Structure 1
Amino acid sequence: MTPDSGPPGRAGFTGAGGVTGAGGVTDATDTRKVTGFAGKRLALVESMLHSAFYDGIHAARDLGCEIWLLVQGVEWYTDGKPFDDHPLARVDKVIHTDTHDPGAIIDAVTDTDGRPQVDGILSFSDYHTEATAVVAESLGLPSQGLEAVTAANHKHVLRGLLGDDPANVPHFLVTSPDEVREAIRRVGLPLIAKPPSEAISYGVRKCHDESEATAAYEELSSFKRSLRGQPRPGHVLFEQYVPGTEISVESMTAGGVTHFYGATSKDLHRTTMLEEAHSFPVQLPPGTWEQVTAAVDRTLRAIGYRQGPAHTEVKLTGDGPKIIEVNTRLPAHMISTMVADVCGANPHLVAKLLALGGDPSPGLVGEGVTPAAAVVVLFPDRPGVLTAVRGIDRAEENEGVVVTLHADPGATVASRLDNSASVGFVYAHAETAGAALAKARHAASLITVETHEED
């Protein structure tokens, strides 16, 4: 399916059952109608990487919101460079604490009498959303819902809660080597093996036979800590491989209703399952968008999601939509930028306003600045130390193309097979998602990412 096949099934911004999403009109570049930030203080527990998230922080600050950033350490963000030069350094307050420990976070955001010094707390980092939800509920602050965040972060829990929903897929949590064969019997081949509690596609493997499944278990079961250092038991989730077209669904739950911005295309690497390109909004065949939004809505209700953004991965199959994963956060890879540019909404502001207990209605939807957009992720051809990224000027000679880098020469790149190996994005606007993707791909083909082996 191409990004533009079939009649519109895009950002028809509807809630469950076809209820029109709330909200007035806000231009994508005009945040003056988004109110409720002035005089408020928001604690952010860590951050996802890249400029979309940094810009989202400063957009809220520009509207009068004071931002406290809680971090375990700044090394995750700086790659050895001075933190003072980093966009995150421009928040109102940086607090160093154990961001995996709810008790430490509570101590950081309360006064000596245990009263919260912030009006809300939020995290877009999968590794910190659970601790953040614990703190929010402990302090009586607006919360996405601890059970919902836990289910989203631990994929086997999500599968269990979906139960016999037609959007679920066969799965088996492998906890020991002697369960691999039984898992294959129940799930079938080919299958997907993944750590059940990880993010950024880390460790996801497609296995075609028993030997590959066994090798995947042996490899992934050795992961005893997450990428952010949290202890893990080493279990591996086997899921039935579902053939079909994969998309992601971008939504925002507010006031008990889930509003849908639209669907994003996903181009995946053949073996690593890494996301290499996206376009928005995908147009779907008649009736498919309604089936997809109904499946996502059922899923968010099943996990008890109260409020906030969701980035839900869905496979379109002959048996209807299948839920792959739910992420109770804003998406990476500039997808939120595409949503803002096309839908005239700023999901970063809406999510922060919800966390502050505000009414996001004026900023939920508005007038976009382009009909469609696309992004291609720049990956190095081989692991090592980044030497140079060449061809950016030629790429940006194409109208509507912008290249953004988030790795500098000297940085180690592609040291592991996940989305952190990317060095930048090629972003493009056009009249249709297909045209935007073609433009971004052409521009990306003019760029060379050069590396050399580490000493």
Structure 2
Amino acid sequence: MCRPEFLAHVRGLAAYERVLGCRADASDEEWIQLAKQVDRIRPFTSVVAFGELDQDRAAAIGQALGLTAHSVETLHRVQDKQAMRRRLRETGVDPTPAATVSGPEQIRDFLDQHGGPLIVKPVQGAGSVGVTVVRDTASPAEIARAYEAAAAEFMGVPQAGVVVERFHEGPQFSVEALSEDGEHHVLAVVRKFYEPVGFVELGHVVPAGLPEADEAAVTDFVRRALDALGVTHGPTHTEIVLTADGPRMIETHLRPAGDEIPDLVHEATGVDLLRYTARQALGEEVLGELRAETAARTPDRYAAIWFTLPDGGGELLEIRLPADGTVHALLEPGDDIAFPANSDSRVAAARARAATPDEAVRTARRAAEGVRAVVAAQLVTTVAGDPPEEVASCD
């Protein structure tokens, strides 16, 4: 099932037995009734949403048909940033203060009460859209712009409000896991790198190269967080900051990671997370086999990706890639590049493997910086200037 406007993006459409379309503005009950009609003819065994959009519809259908699916409550706790923060505080997993706000004045009140810096972002969102850091010295105009950015609608995600929370300093990681019957198996901890203004992700490397004690702290934190949020099955992509006080949550998602991270995990570990995700969605129990395969494989290479992010927005007129085939385009001439930047503003990506995480990142980044993109008749390259230390180094 999908929205009609997404039918053009369904690959191999002719191979499907049925493809059901339902309007974005239709009620949950309409989606449920449509699913029930087909269920009477060919009963479903499970309901899965592999992307962010309409996961709430999948949960509602699963609940109505009594099928394996994330519960409506779990989905709410995961997708609503304030609900997630509240649950993690209640269960003692993460004490980060947060609040929903209805205007710039409340952001200033939160800043005065808790101190800065703060993150202002949409209650529901993805792709680093509408995310802004607000510091103690922020002017009223800067705070107003941060609120407006977080309150805007993006890519059909409904505007559910704006949340403000403490900004945690430290290196950022993602944890890729698969859960079954309430058990969470971590496949990989991934180091991520970002630009310092809108936190658009610039690169990733797998494995992260963390000391053993830090990796144990990160994976234990994520397992406790998933338990607290009620996650029992399926893939998760959890983003955290490793602060001086231990791991702190950024957000988690009930889906495999984007940014080609599952491919990096496969290249580095030999384990195909997407294959296990698909098999589990078809009703198979896969956790035992996954654990055995993970234990049998010892990563001996690091896999990295680095993205080309233009300095500004506008229409992409031309993109020129290095001739050696190390870089692949993400956008085509004629596409619009959003500004302020988000994940969809990146025009190309380069992947590399190496014996160390630093070498893998340097190789991928060097290739990505060879891209030239003409945007609205202006020649631009990657992010201008030297990136901050957390972007430039794996150390």
- TM-score normalised by the chain length of structure 2: 0.85
Tell me the C-alpha RMSD between the 2 structures. 2.6
Distance change in 2, residues 1:283/1:125 (3 Å): same
- 1:221 is displaced (CA, Å) by 5.9
Q: Which structure 1 residue ranges, 4+ long, deviate > 4 Å from structure 2?
A: 112-116, 366-370
Question: Larger deviation: 314-323 or 138-147?
Answer: 138-147
> Aligned pair 1:184/2:111, yes or no?
yes
Do the aligned partners of 1:171 and 1:238 also contact (CA within 8 Å) in 2? yes
1:164-203 pair list within 5 angstroms: 165=92, 167-203=94-130
Q: Which residue pairs with 2:149 in the alignment?
A: 220
Aligned-residue offset at 1:368: 7.9
Matching residue's letter, 2:320: R
SS for the counterpart of 1:392 is coil
Cα distance 1:392–1:206, how it changes in 2: closer, same or farther (>3 A)?
same
Offset from partner CA, 1:96-152 (integer Å, 9 cap, x none): 212564333334433367466433221122221121111112112211232222111
Paired residue for 2:332? Answer: 408
1:156 maps to a residue whose letter is: Q
- For residues 330 and 388 of structure 1, the distance between their equivalents in structure 2, rounded to whole angstroms, comes to 31
Distance 1:248 1:442 in 2: 23
- Work out whether residues 192 and 241 of structure 1, in 8 Å CA contact, stay in contact via their aligned partners in 2: yes
Offset, 1:287: 1.3
Q: Could you tell me which runs of 5 or more consecutive residues in structure 1 were left unpaired when the two chains were aligned.
A: 1-44, 46-69, 76-82, 397-401
User: Partner letter of residue 70 of structure 2?
Assistant: Q
Task: Report if aligned partners of 2:121, 2:162 keep a CA contact under 8 Å in 1.
Answer: yes
* Structure with a larger share of its residues in helix: 2
Out of 309, 332, 348, which is 2:235 matched to? 309
1:352 is paired with a residue whose SS is helix
The match for 2:308 is 378
Q: Does 1:241 align with 2:173?
A: no
Give the aligned partner of residue 265 of structure 1.
191
Deviation at 1:318, TM superposition (A): 1.0
Do the aligned residues in 1 keep the contact of 2:103 with 2:147 (CA within 8 Å)?
A: no
Query: What one-letter code is carried by the residue in structure 1 that aligns with 2:4?
Result: Q
- The residue aligned with 1:211 is 139
Kindly indicate whether the alpha-carbon contact (under 8 Å) linking 1:173 and 1:238 is maintained by their aligned counterparts in 2. Answer: yes
Are 2:27 and 1:71 aligned? no
Amino acid at match of 2:149: L
For 1:439, the equivalent position in structure 2 comes to 363
- SS of the aligned residue for 1:393 comes to coil
Paired residues, number: 369
Identity %, equivalent residues: 24
Q: Give the direction of change, closer, same or farther, for the CA distance of 1:382–1:179 in structure 2 (3 Å limit).
A: closer
Counterpart Cα distance in 1 of 2:327 and 2:124: 32
**Aligned residue identity for 2:302:** A
Q: Which has the higher contact order (CA 8 A, sep 6+)?
A: 1
Q: Deviations over 1:367-401 (max 9, x none)?
A: 4896220111222332122122213314x3xxxxx
Displacement after TM superposition at 1:168 (Å): 3.4
Alignment gaps of 5+ in structure 2: 379-395
Residues 363 and 204 of structure 1: CA distance in aligned 2, closer, same or farther (over 3 Å): same
Matched-pair contact (CA < 8 Å) for 1:385–1:411: yes
Contact 2:279 2:286 in 1 (8 A): yes
**2:264 aligned with 1:338:** yes
Tell me how far 1:316 sits from its aligned partner. 0.7
1:292, CA displacement in angstroms?
Answer: 1.0
Offset at residue 357 of structure 1 (A): 2.2
Query: Are the structure 2 counterparts of residues 176 and 415 from structure 1 closer, same or farther at C-alpha, using a change threshold of 3 Å?
Result: closer
When residues 150 and 372 of structure 1 are mapped into structure 2, their CA distance, relative to the original with a 3 A threshold, is same
Aligned to 1:98: 23
Q: For residues 264-317 of structure 1, give each alpha carbon's deviation from its aligned partner in whole angstroms, at most 9, with x where no partner exists.
A: 111111111110111110121231111111111111111111111111111111
Q: Which residue of 1 aligns with 2:78?
A: 152
